[in-house]
Amino acid sequence: MEPINDEYYMRLALELASKASGQTGVNPVVGCVIVKDGRIVGVGSHLKRGTGHAEVHALNMAGSEAEGATVYVTLEPCSHYGKTPPCADRIAEARAARVVIAASDPNPQVSGRGMAKLRAHGIDVTSGVLEEESRKLNEVFEKFITTGLPYVTLKTASTLDGRIASKTGDSRWVTGESARAAVHALRHTHEAIMVGAGTVQADDPSLTTRLPVPGIHPVRIVTDAKLRLPLTAKLFSDGLAPTVVLTTEGADRERFKALEAAGVKVLACGDGERIDLKLAMRRLGEREISSILLEGGGRLNGAMLEAGLIDKAVLFYAAKIIGGPEAPGLFDFGGFARMADAVRLERLTVETYGDDICVTGYPVYG
């Protein structure tokens, strides 16, 4: 059994936080464990934006036992009034003796202030316990709070020779059931899912989350520079989740109006032939979409990669070789002139799902 120490309880707090991934919107996921005299007396997670933070739930459970206790929390307690009062004040009011923090708040406007407020109340503060694990858990929040831009995770499924469909366009199914279930779990933890018009034309997908228990349906984002998709597409008519269409200033105005009349939000991003994807990310960030799961075809994947807009890549490979020069590939763009210029992936992890392999990594540009 693992020795009982600060890391032991912090791992429990991180586990609590992870279970709420995808539920907190633009807020971070946070877990809290309160310990007194070797006993856990309170636990909590932040479950939804605008509701009580993890510390509040844990303190409510602990009650009077919080006095003299140690509070383990995965992110620095807030020190300011937002949609809820400051958690640092609530911890001080409960007269906790010690607070152990995994990571400081990445928001430059508040970072360190929560810890300073706790110390001003005479509370012993320790920080940096399992910091790397906490920051990875909140990689979406960290990017959004510091840049205002959504965190983009690319998900692809291909054969070993890099084909996402056969030469006839057949793509059902590249990977097996286990890998497809993992993709639905990814949808559950992202605020939006993004595809190109070609994917909608070929498959007419719903782009919803289908899990054994009900999952959260993401906002559906479609790139359609010329607004050529029919209003009968499932995304526009099924009412299962909001849909946003990214287009250009030159798109047909009547189709623009028809889509909006059908309840679709249309965002014109750029006045050229192609959508300005960097502008699109800013516009989506302004709508408080903090995370996007990119499930595009080769052209959209290539354009997003070329623009440096992919933060994380989750690449599923089926143990198949299909061949065919006409078969679509993972990335369709001009490419780089030298191997030294290629986008590299770092911090790699490899998992297996049945007979399929999943490689996850973080792109390094430039």
Cross-strand bridge partners of residue 315: 156, 359
Query: Is 171 flagged in the annotation as binding?
Result: yes
Residue 180 labelled as part of a binding site: no
Answer yes or no: is 87 a known binding residue: yes
Tell me the two tokens of residue 233. Answer: 């597409």
Q: Which two tokens stand for residue 286?
A: 């302004």
273 classed as catalytic: no
Distance CA 253, CA 90 (A): 53
Is residue 122 annotated as involved in ligand binding?
no
Is residue 210 part of an annotated ligand binding site?
A: yes
The answer to whether 235 is a known ligand-binding residue is no
Dihedral sign from CA coordinates of 248, 220, 161, 357: positive
Return the number of other C-beta atoms located less than 10 Å from residue 93's C-beta.
Answer: 11
Please check whether residue 71 is in contact with residue 101, taking contact to mean a CB–CB distance below 8 angstroms. Answer: no
The answer to whether 173 is annotated as binding is yes
What is the 8-class DSSP label of residue 33? E
Is 283 flagged in the annotation as binding? no
298 marked among binding-site residues: yes
Distances (CA, A) of 196 to 117, 216, 220, 290: 48, 21, 11, 19
Catalytic: which of 55, 76, 142, 191?
55
Question: Is 352 annotated to bind ligand?
Answer: no
287 touches 261 (CB < 8 A): no
Residue 253 in marked binding region: no
Binding site as annotated, residues for substrate = 171, 187, 203, 207, 210, 295
Binding site as annotated, residues for NADP(+) = 157, 173, 199, 297-303
Binding site as annotated, residues for Zn(2+) = 53, 78, 87
Residue numbers annotated as active site: 55
